[in-house]
A and B are shown apart, each in its own frame.
Chain A
Amino acid sequence: MTSTNLALFELRRLLLLKMIILAALGTLIVALLFIQLGHGAYYESSREQQSLRRVRIPAVRGKIYDRRGVCLADNVPDYGVALYLEEFRLTRKRQNTAEVISQAIQQVAAVIGQGPKIDQQQIKSHLASRRALPLVAWHNADERTIARLMETGARLKGVDILVEAERVYPHGAALAHLLGYVEIAATQSEDDELFHYYLSDLTGKTGIEKQFDELLAGRAGGRLLQVDVTGFKHAETALRESVPGSDLKLAIDLRIQQVAEQVLSDTAGAVVVVDPRNGDVLAMASAPGYDPNWFCSTITTENWTKLTADSRKPLFNRALSGLYAPGSTFKPVVALAALEQGVDRHLTLNCPGYFELGNQQFACYQGKSHGQTDFRRAIRVSCNVFFYQAALKCRLDGLYQMALACGLGQKTGISLPGESAGFLPSRAWKRRTLGEAWRDGDTCNLAIGQGPIQVTPLQMAMLTAAIANGGTLYQPRVVLATRRAGLLQRKPDELEFQEIPPVVIRRIHFSQEHLELVRNGLRDVIQDEEGTGRLARLSGLVMAGKTGTAEYGRKGAGQQHAWMLLFAPFDEPRYAVAIVLDDAISGGISAGPRLRALMQEIFALEGSG
């Protein structure tokens, strides 16, 4: 029987294992004996435990503030008129109960003077699946309704006011694109089936609300309801508190934002204002806009059609998703690339109003002749002819690398959904997609920001900031700080905001001497009588900038984007701005006066504190 391979000693060890196993199984049997036979009667009659239902309680969504503490996204109570069904459980049959409830709703309707918002079918399905929960017959009751109900409340049995949280954006359309909006979550998340009754959360659909949804949402809690034999609520027994969502403090200054939106008014376009010292996004406006409050309960079909049918796409955030050719605003990059590649900084060229390349003729802007032009003047008057030749003097790779270093052709990494990367054409790209070699004509087009190159207003604002601050390219910072409610400390109001430090993407490599030259050119654009951006000039303040006008659509159709970049004050820049207008005359004429108005307001605000 026993094997010769195992020593007696080992067989003894196996025997012990055998005994442990049998003893353990025996223990289980004895325990079962106690539970099932000893206390069986107790568990069988344990009706109290049988009657518990779990209800999920959504967490309060975090609030969003601007940098000065103004609330941008808030939660307000939404008063609903609810029927507590346990009070109507007179009859045995569900059908009859539904009748009684529907009669009660008619009674309430008569009192408050509003027809019921729910039908017989909804009452029945509520009775079938959620009967321990109050049935909300009217959402969004106004003060008058509530007042009327209070007066006669005593007569109406089982009817009461129920408070639910609703998301509101107190400043309406301001910041619509940046904040995004919320909708009622359609499906249950992964904790499904843990709850008998599910009260759903709001989820962010776009903008900050989407990007930081997990932080803002918090963690749902739950409640144990004791119900009676027929399934109506009897009492509440246990509660697991929900953990409120974290609050966010944005880098946005609501006042600047509002001015930026006014400056655009109804012209399709975008404005981005950043702080060149740390990359803070002080304002980001895109027009036309919409009112995020439309989405708060459920958006009406009328509003939705209005938003989606509009050919100017109000839901589209042009500031970070819009792709535009940069036009002449690309010239500072070309100048820096050429200077870094060793093109003489005193280079002076004659501009006869056109440039001949082989048998092709490239015109200067509106065929104007600028005469003798150096780097500084070329920027000031935005001379195309000078930049065609400057670009041809430097290697294309060098130009491409400089644009890449300035953050073009790649996402800025802003923490918002839907950012576009833009596009930088290269030799390899042209060969790959068009099967053609790169020509000097392509370089000329690129030199004035035309052709396949595409940028977003946000990228141009960050680039302006980098030129303003001496060459540091920041990641745009939208969220300045978060206030997170922990598992233990649940009240966010008592906590401190924790700052999210600014992120430097890179130091752009160029000599300060060259940067100085370009910056002086940019100053002349606004401060000099000859400058293309002189309409933006403000008395008593030195600013710098660059205008741009980019053709788009069919050649010669006359469709133009107007651009302008600007930073101020010139010596110690605190603001870097990019504006683009979808359809306009030119950067200087269309964008200049708008930036003048914007900067005037911004510095007035600074004065007022």
Chain B
Amino acid sequence: MSIFIHLRLMRRLDWSLVIATLGLLIIGIAFIFSAGYGNPSPAAQQLYLRQLCWVGLGLLFFLWFAIVDYHRWLRLAWWLYALGVILLVLVFVPHIGLKVYGAWRWLQIGGFRILQPAELMKLALIVLLARLFGLPGRNVRRRRLVLSGLALTLLPMALVIKQPDLGTALVFVPVLAGIMWAAGVPGKRLAILAVLALVMAGGILALVALPPKLGMNESDHERLLRRIGFSPYQRERLMVFLDTKRDPLGAGWNKAQSRIAVGSGRLTGKGYLQGTQNLLGFLPRTVAPNDFIFAVIAEEKGFVGCVVTLVLYGVLLLALLRAAEEATDRMGCLLCIGVAAMFFCHVFINIAMTIGLLPITGIPLPLISYGGTFMLGTFVALGLAQSVYIRGEWR
């Protein structure tokens, strides 16, 4: 491909998506700076510089993935998926995986964090599911197809839950659901799956939460859960997920402080670099630049800042769905749907958690939260969607 064709393709980018993305990136850098502003550690103060590097690299990834024909990745779908699963398994191997805050999430080389395989897995799964349900001539009404899609999703999901990273694992479900829905899997079949999922999730939660309330002895309960395969630690995590009051110094603290930060922002906020929750470290400094960055925005820029952010996300999500509509083939359409579903999940769960609507779980805010692997993953996903859009049948 010559440069000329590249430029012509570039002209066909969806500029509403590009502008919304740049807007969110600016917000992100600005508030990562703010989150590090009150931190005495020089490394934390310069987090925004590192994020700038990631953004630069990410933009290159975005352009590259937008220019390259997305069919190339669809052809490699099974290999990418296999690679993702292997890396997810390697995470648990000492000296290759790295344990941070009690969870195996990182691959390391000599103590340096290299990659979070779960991020790669999300992308690989989207590409594979798009191919699985979108190949020409596939009959999406067949039960076998639906079941294999389900199995392919559950395998990496189980590995991610094992890390344990419940938040990231939760993103896999809507990706599958979105792709199956858009592919035209009959509503009845989807409804059955949804009911099954709810029953299972409810069953697990009930087993963890109910017996003590029904008067079961705590040590008997612990033995029961051990038999099912829950360690006391995992049980505790789930209990805290349901009821943050159980951990007043950990998740409970984050939740309460985040809510105060958001609430005290009021209409226009306390002003940039003036949020007391943020600067004085009430909003814990380990989570402020990443999972709780929205609380910093809400405190310092208030309702207005929140709405601007949400509108930008809305524009971006609609652009992704537009790319799905314009796709020349079904695989491209499903690819965009998968990306949109993942993106939406991250945005919704993160913000809902920050403002106290959902239980606390560690899941970052795309394009805004600090984090290298996640930033690159997001850009690759957006690039894929643009690759579909550029080759779409518009005009």
Contacts and interface: CB of A to CB of B under 8 A. Distances in A.
B282 to A, nearest CB: 7
Interface string A595-606: 000000000000
A50 interface: yes
B286 A194 contact: yes
B253 interface: yes
B243 interface: no
B324 interface: yes
B88 interface: no
Given A35-B259, A36-B266, A36-B306, A3 B178 contact: no
Interface in B218-234: 218-219, 222, 232-233
Given A36-B262, A43-B259, A21 B344 contact: yes
Contact of B236 (A9, A39, A196, A487): A487
A110 interface: no
Contact of A3 (B282, B314, B325): B325
A25 B313 contact: yes
A255 interface: no
A574 B193 CA distance: 65
Contacts, number: 156
Interface string B179-196: 001101000000000000
B3 interface: no
B284 interface: yes
A91 interface: no
Given A3-B325, A25-B310, A50-B282, A488 B250 contact: no
Interface string B316-353: 01100100111111100100010010001001100110
B14 interface: no
A321 to B, nearest CB: 25
Contacts of B326: 3
Interface stretch (A12-20, A277-285, A464-472, A542-550): A12-20
Contact of B249 (A2, A6, A194): A194
Interface residues of B, number: 66
Interface stretch (A26-34, A135-143, A432-440): A26-34
Nearest to B303: A36
Contact of A39 (B181, B184, B263, B277): B263
Contact of B263 (A43, A195, A488): A43
B256 interface: yes
A6 B178 CA distance: 16
Interface of B, helix, strand, loop or mixed by DSSP? helix
B276 interface: yes
A22 B100 CA distance: 36
Contacts of A196: 281
Interface string B245-286: 001111001001101101111110000000011000110111
B64 to A, nearest CB: 26
B247 A488 contact: no
A5 interface: yes
Nearest to B182: A13
A28 B236 contact: no
Greatest chain A CB density within 10 A among B102, B277, B325, B327 is at B325
A35 B348 contact: no
A190 interface: yes
A14 B317 contact: no
Interface string B277-306: 100011011100000000000100011001
A95 B254 CA distance: 34
B158 interface: no
A49 B298 contact: no
B392 interface: yes
Contacts of A35: 259, 262-263, 355-356
A224 interface: yes
A298 interface: no
Contacts of A14: 182, 321, 324-325, 337
Contact of B253 (A5, A37, A54, A487): A54
A129 to B, nearest CB: 10
B248 A3 contact: no
Nearest to B267: A37
B19 interface: no
B284 to A, nearest CB: 7
Contact of B355 (A32, A50, A193, A194): A32
Contact of A190 (B100, B263, B314, B352): B100
A24 B392 contact: no
Given A2-B325, A29-B310, A36-B263, A194 B284 contact: yes
Greatest chain A CB density within 10 A among B266, B307, B310 is at B266
B112 interface: no
Given A36-B265, A36-B266, A194 B351 contact: no
A32 B303 contact: yes
A235 interface: no
A195 B253 CA distance: 11
A46 to B, nearest CB: 6
Contacts of A33: 303
A108 B312 CA distance: 64
A42 interface: yes
Contacts of B329: 5
A222 interface: yes
A6 B333 contact: yes
B232 A18 contact: no
B307 A37 contact: no
Contacts of A224: 248-249
B186 to A, nearest CB: 11
Nearest to B324: A14
B357 interface: yes
B306 A32 contact: yes
A35 B354 CA distance: 12
B69 interface: no
A36 B222 contact: no
Contact of B285 (A5, A22, A25, A193): A193
Contacts of A222: 249
Nearest to B329: A5
Contacts of A486: 219, 222, 232
A199 interface: no
Contacts of B250: 194
Interface string A162-206: 000000000000000000000000000011011110000000000
A5 B333 CA distance: 10
Interface in B199-220: 218-219
A302 interface: no
B101 interface: yes
Nearest to B184: A10
A28 B352 contact: yes
A36 B295 CA distance: 11
A418 to B, nearest CB: 21
Contacts of A37: 266-267, 303
A301 interface: no
A4 interface: yes
Contacts of A28: 310, 348, 351-352, 355, 357
A11 B340 CA distance: 16
A492 B253 CA distance: 29
Nearest to B262: A35
A17 B236 contact: no
Contacts of A24: 344, 348
Nearest to B320: A21
B249 A238 contact: yes
A550 B333 CA distance: 82
28 contacts: A3-B328, A3-B393, A13-B182, A14-B321, A14-B325, A17-B178, A18-B318, A25-B348, A28-B310, A28-B348, A28-B352, A31-B352, A31-B357, A32-B306, A35-B263, A36-B267, A40-B266, A40-B267, A42-B263, A44-B266, A54-B249, A190-B102, A194-B249, A194-B284, A224-B249, A486-B219, A487-B232, A487-B233
The 5 tightest CB contacts between A and B, nearest first, are A43-B263, A40-B266, A222-B249, A238-B248, A44-B264
Given A24-B344, A35-B355, A196-B281, 9 more contacts: A21-B317, A21-B340, A37-B303, A43-B260, A50-B260, A191-B101, A194-B286, A240-B247, A488-B232
